[in-house]
Amino acid sequence: MIRMAALGVGLVLASPVLGQAVNDYPTNARVEYAFACMATNGQTREMMDRCSCAIDRIAEVLSYADYIGAETILRMRQTTGERSGMFRGMATMTETVATLRRAEAEAEIICF
């Protein structure tokens, strides 16, 4: 009985730590996303809430490393030359971007 109670307390105390490990986005990345979103959609309190919601939903789907990878691929696709072609043609890069796009679509449905 005491072991079960100790286990239950341990799980409750560990829950925030586990959530933190999954949600590894730094604050400045969240703020940057929210500012860019607000610049596009309006500088209101309502938009701040919606844009913050959107990055929270994206963070539930993608790790920060995957998010940065997808953003990098998208930026490199906008450049010209041989190197940009590599970012357009590789299947793994296309899938990484597709995962980000799905996360963004889900966030838009939920938050907007």
Q: Tell me, what's the pLDDT at 55?
A: 98
Q: Tell me, what's the pLDDT at 39?
A: 98
For residue 33, is pLDDT > 70? yes
Q: Using alpha carbons, list the distances in angstroms from residue 17 to 3, 14, 23, 24, 57.
A: 21, 5, 10, 11, 19
DSSP 8-state symbol, 49: H
95's enclosing H/E stretch is helix 91-111
Confidence of residue 22 (pLDDT cuts 50, 70, 90): low
Query: Do 110 and 57 touch, CB atoms closer than 8 A?
Result: yes
Distance CA 26, CA 33 (A): 11
**Residue bearing the bigger pLDDT, 7 or 29:** 29
